[in-house]
Structure 1
């Protein structure tokens, strides 16, 4: 077993009590170099904790700044950041400890230097609350989202239904639900994105689809054209909020080609497909 594997194993074998005790380092309750909490007053322990906190915040900012430099091209004219925006940005960014999230903040900073005004302070406040797990859920949702026709904004399609027409009375089910859950996006994850302000809380519907106007459906790695077989069909979908759309500019979709292929199979009954 390699040293790295040993370290992982050792980490997983640590008891809950020991892990709780390790948190004492954050509170200034662990001995470090010439600092001994047992001989320090509570005021001295508070000062020590504050110094550690400031050091962590400084390290976070330096990491984000260094990453932002990598995303800032030297052959593009930069812009001056709005003073209030930059102040708020760094106030929030210093509290970002996760490496994956630091990379997101770095890309925001670089993006604003190149072209300011893309990311509002409100979006930053939402982003600050996101965990790395929630960012992975956004990646997954984006990988399953699609653009319909000439629209620039993606939609998380949840199904389609027949609304009206005599044919609906001869069908057992007028609605077809797309298997988001079976492809790694259960409803609990959708609720997480709703709670985070990334998705609107209710589903939306397209207008009735025109049988004479074929539509291009574009997933991350899959594109095809559909034509409704009757004039009473429409899609239902989850819509990204304005803040969600801003964050989607930064997060790379985790494409799901199998989901797109299954959508093709599910809609063949009521749509004509061409690749």
Structure 2
């Protein structure tokens, strides 16, 4: 019986075996004849120990030699300063080139070790992501140039939250090459933790790849729902932040008069339409198959959709209910609940809750 994500894990192992070396080469950590939990513990202990050693090198407690050995440094003050002052009447500062060279080498050594730690932690996180079993790998190989770009970027990332994003990118690309573009890698490279969290917040308001801001025409000239705007503002998604997310290529339509999207029925006998958002869903039904629903919305770009796939978030339930209320107010029977995707074209609403028009008692 195969393990969850086994095929994807094999693809990952083949990919990183030639691309990552040094003290954390994948084959140096064996799972053979060890319990899974022991192997995981050994990996994390190795990383933690190395990070502590990097801190000791920075503090001057350890020295990393050219033959790749760590040696203790005496605590006695026997190292000269980089800038020495000559004795005598005339004070002339000068650089001690020997000590400058030593410190330069130490900085490079620290950077190299830290990059290796960063890369290894991120690969381990990708491994854990694949072990979840929610990825189904195909047989297509990962583009070597793509992996080189990923590796060169991931090794510079020390923040745990951002390492998780880079791990999910690798997991997704290993299972289905072409999932994440080089543009996505370039955006992630420059993304701060605060920016990533802002994108995650916006992800809570994504329905069918769009930020739906209200039913068009429901309030005459005003297309946006005041309720939706209030909910988004309380989450920090005010106009200036939305405009910034547009500037970096995540969404479009923020500074326009409003983009719209129209939905018609997929059933010739009546109007039936499901709107999905992560693990939540909204189903609208009407007896007239010629009815349609027009939303005022912000559209997510391809880059935005790739980034949204990385973030862990749940749909904002208050927001989903507000949109459902608006759809009910124009005469549709509406239910919301959890959503289970059965295949590419069919899904099922779980624990449905009926949403009545505002004037219903």
Q: Same fold (TM over 0.5)?
A: yes
Q: How far off its partner does 1:86 sit?
A: 1.3
Alpha-carbon distance, 1:256 to partner: 1.0
- Given the alignment of the two structures, is residue 175 of structure 1 paired with residue 218 of structure 2, yes or no? no
Larger helix proportion of the pair: 1
Answer yes or no: is 1:225 the counterpart of 2:280.
Answer: no
> How far is 1:115 from its partner?
2.1
In terms of mean alpha carbon deviation, does 199-208 or 234-243 score higher?
199-208
Q: 2:137 touches 2:175 (CA, 8 Å); kept in 1?
A: yes
Structure-to-structure mapping, 1:159-174, within 5 angstroms: 159-162=214-217, 173-174=221-222
Where in structure 2 are there 5+ consecutive unaligned residues?
Answer: 1-53, 63-72, 83-95, 336-361
Partner of residue 305, structure 2? 245
Q: CA deviation at 1:60?
A: 0.5
Give yes or no for the alignment of 1:53 onto 2:101.
no
1:158 alignment partner in structure 2:
213
Report Cα offsets for 1:51-80 as digits up to 9, x if no partner: 222221111101111222223459966653
**Does 1:198 find its partner at 2:250?**
yes
Alignment partner for residue 204 of structure 2, among 136, 143, 147? 143
Displacement, 1:93? 0.9
Report the number of matched residues: 236
CA contact (8 A) 1:71 1:110 kept: yes
Q: Which deviations, in whole Å up to 9, do the C-alpha atoms of 1:211-264 show, x marking residues without a partner?
A: x74433333424231559997963111111111112222223332111111223
**Contact 2:327/2:334 (8 A) holds in 1:** no
Separation in 2, partners of 1:110, 1:184: 30
Q: How does 1:208-223 map to 2 (within 5 A)?
A: 213-220=271-278, 221-223=280-282
Alignment match, 1:236 = 296
Cα distance 1:143–1:29, how it changes in 2: closer, same or farther (>3 A)?
closer
Distance 1:208 1:46 in 2: 62
The farther-off stretch of 186-195 and 121-130 is: 186-195
2:81 to 30, 38, 61: 38
Tell me how far apart the structure 2 counterparts of residues 117 and 155 of structure 1 sit (CA, whole Å).
22
Looking at structure 2, the residues matched to 139 and 120 of structure 1 have their Cα atoms a distance apart, in angstroms, of 19
More strand by share: 2
Partner of 1:90: 151
Distance 1:81 1:249, change over 3 A: same
- 1:99 equivalent in structure 2: 160
Higher RCO (Cα < 8 Å, 6 or more apart):
1
Question: Is contact 1:217–1:226 with CA below 8 Å preserved after alignment?
Answer: no
TM-score by length of 2: 0.55
Q: How far apart, CA to CA, are the structure 2 residues paired with 1:233 and 1:69?
A: 43
CA distance in 2, matches of 1:219, 1:227: 21
Segments of structure 1 that go 5 or more residues without pairing to the other structure are 1-24, 148-153, 163-167
* Equivalent runs, 1:102-121 vs 2, <5 Å: 102-121=163-182
- Is residue 122–residue 164 contact of structure 2 (8 Å, CA) maintained in 1? yes
Q: For structure 1, which segment, 223-232 or 123-132, has the greater mean C-alpha deviation from structure 2 after superposition?
A: 223-232
CA distance in 1, matches of 2:215, 2:105: 60
